[in-house]
Structure 1
Amino acid sequence: MLTAVAILIDGLGFAAWLFLSSVGLTLIYGVMRILNIAHGGFYALGAYSSAWAIGLYMQTGSSVAFTYLLIPLMAIVVGLVAGLIIERGILRFMYGRDEVLMVLVTYAIFLILEDATKLIWGTESLVAYQPAYYLGNIEIFGIPYTVYKFALIGLAVLCGAVLWWGLNRTTTGKLLLVVIEDREVSSALGINVTLFFSATFVIGTTLGALGGAVTAPQISVVPGIGAEVIVMAFAVIVIGGMGSIGGAIIGAIFVGFARAVSVHLYPPAELFSIYLVMAAVLAIKPYGLFSLAQGRKI
């Protein structure tokens, strides 16, 4: 019984983190058809900027309450500034190019962002435990869990609901769906496709930075965390179907519970279990669970 409860809660917590860390990646691919390897770099920038800002703020001796506003604020700053610079300065010149070339370009950007974090914050680890620590713990069947973990689950649900509402219940979201369906027809109808691309990339990078920012209070922020998360995020969106928000939710749940089961029942298989799930899904659905129909190429 206790093991089942632990698997349920840990699976939900890990799934929430995976969704927050990967939904921006699938959003950018769905609209722009860019597999943004640089997403891991934005995650790292969000984690570093959040940990750095929290550290500076706590040195003032002020209340920890403001740090919960500081976390999303730093993610928004990173997403807006770095996202706009990269999209306007580099990617807009690459639109319409081969997808493999775009992967190489975003991989180069990822390497640049990795070095940028080292130049700005150095190679020493940053620790910003205060937001998670001061929320305290809660016991469920005698097992202690941080309240912060449940806050992240709630945040993931909120982000998923807002994205669904924005895409399906707003005029802008419906126009975006038209852009996704056919860029050329959208331009002919007078829709500013370039503006939608820029907005989508900034929202996607902000979500990636938010994933890192909310993770910072739970970990020691060190160089290389971006490389780790891009692999996990890629597994999530491949399982769910690249470009599908709903698929990202299901993919995160699959991966989250696969990891939780392996951690509690057979820890050596933790990483293997994630890729086993991905391989099993792709063997049945080569384009993911919720992918759109693929046109046959001759």
Structure 2
Amino acid sequence: MTQLLAIIIDGVVYASWLFIIAAGLTLIYGVMRILNMAHGSFYAIGAYAGAGMVGWYFSTGSVPWLSFAVLIGAALIAGLFIGLLIERGLLRFMYGRNEVVMILVTYAILLILEDAIKLIWGVEPYFAYQPYSLLGRTKLAGLSFANYDFMLIVVSTLIGLALWYGLNRTRNGKLLRVVIHDREIAQALGINVSRIFTITFLIGAGLGALAGALTAPGLSVVPGIGIEVIVLAFAVVVIGGLGSVSGALVGALIVGLARAAAVHLYPEVELFVIYAVMGLVLAIRPQGLFAVASARKI
């Protein structure tokens, strides 16, 4: 029972982190039909910006609890600024192109941002461990868990609820769903599709940067973390169904629990099990578990 509890908690914590990343990725694809390869760079930028500012903040001897606001604020500002620059400066000229072309464009952006990160923050690792230790630890059934990880679950839940409410209970969310269903009809109805694209991309970029900031206190921030993350995020959204936020949640839970079980029971297959699950799901349901239906034009 102790091992089962450890698997469940570790799996849900890992799934919470994955969901925040994958939600932004699948939202951008659902609205804009862009499989954004650069999404991992937003994660890396958020992690570097948050870790760098937290390190500076604690060096000033300021109030420790405000470091959470510094961590999240720095990441969101950096992520939203870079997201706006990319969307307005490049992607808006590419809308309507083939999806393969958009993958190549965003992959080029990924490579550029990876080098830009090294130029700005260098190649030395960054550590922002202080917020992780501030919340202390909790013992359950003889096991010790960091309260910071439980906070991550709460934040992920709140983000999921906010996305559901925004998409289903607000006017802008309903307009967004119209664009998802048929962008040409949306334009004919007078909906400002360009503005919705910009807002959507900024939300996705913000979620990617936020995920980086929230996970920075629990690891060393090093070059290449964005590339590692985007592979996992793709696995999650493919399992859940491209364009589905609820699918991203289910996919994150499946991947998180499968990985946790492998880590505790068979550590040597930790990486393999994620892609084995993805292959199994796609063999049964090639479009993913909760793929958004596409309108067939006649």
Q: Shorter-chain TM-score category?
A: over 0.9
Following TM superposition, where does structure 1 have runs of at least 4 consecutive aligned residues deviating by more than 2 angstroms?
A: 292-297
Matches within 5 A, 1:1-298: 1-293=1-293
SS at match of 1:127: coil
Structure 2: runs of 5 or more not aligned: none
Q: Provide the rounded CA distance (Å) in 2 between the counterparts of 1:23 and 1:60.
A: 35
SS at match of 2:139: strand
Structure 1: runs of 5 or more not aligned: none
Counterpart amino acid of 1:287? Q
Deviation readout 1:145-167 (Å, 9 max, x if unpaired):
10000000000000000000000
Scaled by the length of structure 2, the TM-score of the pair is 0.98
Offset, 1:292: 2.5
Q: Provide the rounded CA distance (Å) in 1 between the counterparts of 2:292 and 2:80.
A: 30
Offset, 1:76: 1.9
Offset, 1:294: 5.1
Offset, 1:22: 1.3
Deviation readout 1:194-223 (Å, 9 max, x if unpaired):
000000000100000001010100000000
Offset, 1:68: 1.0
Offset, 1:64: 1.2
Kept in 2: contact 1:75–1:207 (CA 8 A): no
Counterpart amino acid of 2:139? E
Deviation readout 1:226-261 (Å, 9 max, x if unpaired):
000000000000000000000000000000000000
Kept in 1: contact 2:181–2:294 (CA 8 A): no
Offset, 1:21: 1.6
Deviation readout 1:150-195 (Å, 9 max, x if unpaired):
0000000000000000000000000100011111111111100000
Q: CA RMSD in A?
A: 1.3
* Number of positions where the alignment pairs a residue of Structure 1 with one of Structure 2: 298
Q: Provide the rounded CA distance (Å) in 2 between the counterparts of 1:138 and 1:124.
A: 32
Offset, 1:293: 3.4
Identical pairs, percent: 60
